[in-house]
Structure 1
Amino acid sequence: MASSASSHGSINAADHSPPPPPTASAPVQAVENNLLTPVALSSVSLHGAKNTRRSLLDHVFKPLVRESASADTTFGDVLARLSIANQKLARYDIFKEDSIRVFISEALEQPQPGLHLDCTNLDVSISVKEKSRLVLSAGTDFGNAEGSAYTNAVIRNILGGAETLSVNASTGTRTRSAYNAVFSTPVNGNPDLRLGLEGLRSSTQKPWASHEEQLTGGNLRLAYLADNGDSHALAYSGVWRQLTNLAATSSPTVRADAGDSLKSSIAHTFTRDRRDRAGNPMLSQNGWLLRTVSELAGWGPLRGDVAFCKSEVEVSGAVPVLNSIRGGLPSGISVGGGLRMGVLYPLPTGYSLTGPAQPSRINDRFQLGGPTDVRGFKQCGLGPHDGTDAVGGDVYAAGSVNMLLPLPRAGPESPLRIQLFTNGGRLVALKNKGKAGEGGPTAALDSRAVVNGISSAVCELADGLPSLAAGVGLVYAHPVARFELNFSLPLVQRRGEEARKGLQVGVGINFL
Structure 2
Amino acid sequence: MTVDCGCTNEDDLVKLVNESIDRISKAPEGDNLAQTLSCQKIRVAKVHLDGLNKTKKTHFNDRSIFDGILKADSVQSLAEESLTLREKLKSIGVFKDVALTVDASSVQPLLPEVKCVDLVLDCKETRMLKASVNVMAGSNEFSGQTVLKLANVFGRGEGLSFGHSRSTANIGCYSFDITKLLSHDFNTAFKWSFLKSHEPSYISNYDLKNCGFLAEVSRPHNKWRSTLRYGGIWRNFYCPSWETPFDIRLNSGHSLISSLLYTLAYNSRQGAAGTSISPGMSLENKIELAGMVLGGEHNFMKVETKFKKIASLTSWARLSLSLNAGHLVSLDATDPPSIVDRFFLGGPGSVRGFMMGGLGPHRNNCAFGGASYWSSGISLFTRLPFRPAKGSFGDQFWLHAFVNAGNLFEKLDVTEPDFVQKLCGNMRYTVGAGIHWRFMNFASIELNYCIPKSVQPGDRANPGVQLGVSLDVL
Structure-2-length-normalised TM-score: 0.87
Name the SS for the 2:79 alignment partner.
helix
The question of whether the paired residues in 2 share the 8 Å contact of 1:384 and 1:429 is answered with no
Residues of 1 paired with 2:158 and 2:420: CA distance? 45
Name the SS for the 2:458 alignment partner.
coil
Structure 2 residue aligned with 1:302: 294
The question of whether the paired residues in 2 share the 8 Å contact of 1:40 and 1:116 is answered with no
> Are residue 196 (structure 1) and residue 191 (structure 2) matched?
yes
* Alpha-carbon distance, 1:225 to partner: 0.4
Structure 2 residue aligned with 1:489: 451
The question of whether the paired residues in 1 share the 8 Å contact of 2:59 and 2:156 is answered with yes
The alpha-carbon distance between structure 1 residues 87 and 455, as it changes in their structure 2 partners (threshold 3 A), is farther
> Are residue 474 (structure 1) and residue 471 (structure 2) matched?
no
The question of whether the paired residues in 2 share the 8 Å contact of 1:56 and 1:189 is answered with no
The question of whether the paired residues in 1 share the 8 Å contact of 2:274 and 2:472 is answered with no
Structure 2 residue aligned with 1:216: 211
Q: How does 1:390-401 map to 2 (within 5 A)?
A: 390-401=367-378
The alpha-carbon distance between structure 1 residues 250 and 65, as it changes in their structure 2 partners (threshold 3 A), is closer
| Count of residue correspondences | 444
The partner residue of 2:366 within 377, 381, 389 is 389
The question of whether the paired residues in 1 share the 8 Å contact of 2:69 and 2:78 is answered with no
The alpha-carbon distance between structure 1 residues 285 and 44, as it changes in their structure 2 partners (threshold 3 A), is closer
Structure 2 residue aligned with 1:225: 220
Residues of 2 paired with 1:261 and 1:61: CA distance? 45
The alpha-carbon distance between structure 1 residues 124 and 65, as it changes in their structure 2 partners (threshold 3 A), is same
Q: How does 1:296-335 map to 2 (within 5 A)?
A: 296-299=289-292, 301-321=293-313, 323=314, 330=315, 332-335=316-319
The alpha-carbon distance between structure 1 residues 428 and 458, as it changes in their structure 2 partners (threshold 3 A), is farther
* Alpha-carbon distance, 1:214 to partner: 0.8
The question of whether the paired residues in 2 share the 8 Å contact of 1:395 and 1:458 is answered with no
Residues of 2 paired with 1:117 and 1:186: CA distance? 41
* Alpha-carbon distance, 1:200 to partner: 0.7
Residues of 1 paired with 2:66 and 2:101: CA distance? 18
Structure 2 residue aligned with 1:264: 258
The alpha-carbon distance between structure 1 residues 363 and 274, as it changes in their structure 2 partners (threshold 3 A), is same
- AA matched with 1:216: C
Structure 1 residue aligned with 2:425: 463
Q: How does 1:110-125 map to 2 (within 5 A)?
A: 111=107, 115-125=110-120
- AA matched with 1:180: S
The question of whether the paired residues in 1 share the 8 Å contact of 2:351 and 2:375 is answered with yes
Residues of 2 paired with 1:497 and 1:129: CA distance? 58
Residues of 2 paired with 1:183 and 1:377: CA distance? 40
The question of whether the paired residues in 2 share the 8 Å contact of 1:91 and 1:192 is answered with no
Structure 2 residue aligned with 1:100: 98
* Alpha-carbon distance, 1:150 to partner: 2.3
The question of whether the paired residues in 2 share the 8 Å contact of 1:384 and 1:428 is answered with no
The alpha-carbon distance between structure 1 residues 176 and 335, as it changes in their structure 2 partners (threshold 3 A), is closer
* Alpha-carbon distance, 1:451 to partner: 8.0
Structure 1 residue aligned with 2:8: none
Structure 2 residue aligned with 1:427: 408
Residues of 2 paired with 1:383 and 1:363: CA distance? 15
- The answer to which of 181-190 and 288-297 deviates more is 181-190
The question of whether the paired residues in 1 share the 8 Å contact of 2:403 and 2:431 is answered with yes
Structure 2 residue aligned with 1:86: 86
The question of whether the paired residues in 1 share the 8 Å contact of 2:66 and 2:85 is answered with no
Residues of 2 paired with 1:143 and 1:179: CA distance? 17
The alpha-carbon distance between structure 1 residues 407 and 55, as it changes in their structure 2 partners (threshold 3 A), is same
The alpha-carbon distance between structure 1 residues 139 and 61, as it changes in their structure 2 partners (threshold 3 A), is closer
* Alpha-carbon distance, 1:61 to partner: 5.8
Residues of 2 paired with 1:215 and 1:455: CA distance? 41
Residues of 2 paired with 1:400 and 1:187: CA distance? 39
Structure 1 residue aligned with 2:11: none
* Alpha-carbon distance, 1:249 to partner: 0.5
* Alpha-carbon distance, 1:418 to partner: 0.9
Residues of 2 paired with 1:281 and 1:36: CA distance? 46
The partner residue of 1:344 within 328, 335, 338 is 328
The alpha-carbon distance between structure 1 residues 44 and 134, as it changes in their structure 2 partners (threshold 3 A), is same
Structure 2 residue aligned with 1:352: none
The question of whether the paired residues in 1 share the 8 Å contact of 2:43 and 2:70 is answered with no
- Cα deviation per residue 1:481-505 (whole Å; 9 max; x = unaligned)? 2211112121221100101122222
- Cα deviation per residue 1:413-447 (whole Å; 9 max; x = unaligned)? 5111112111121111127xxxxxxxxxxxxxxxx
Residues of 2 paired with 1:45 and 1:336: CA distance? 49
Unaligned runs of 5+ in 1: 1-21, 324-329, 349-355, 432-449
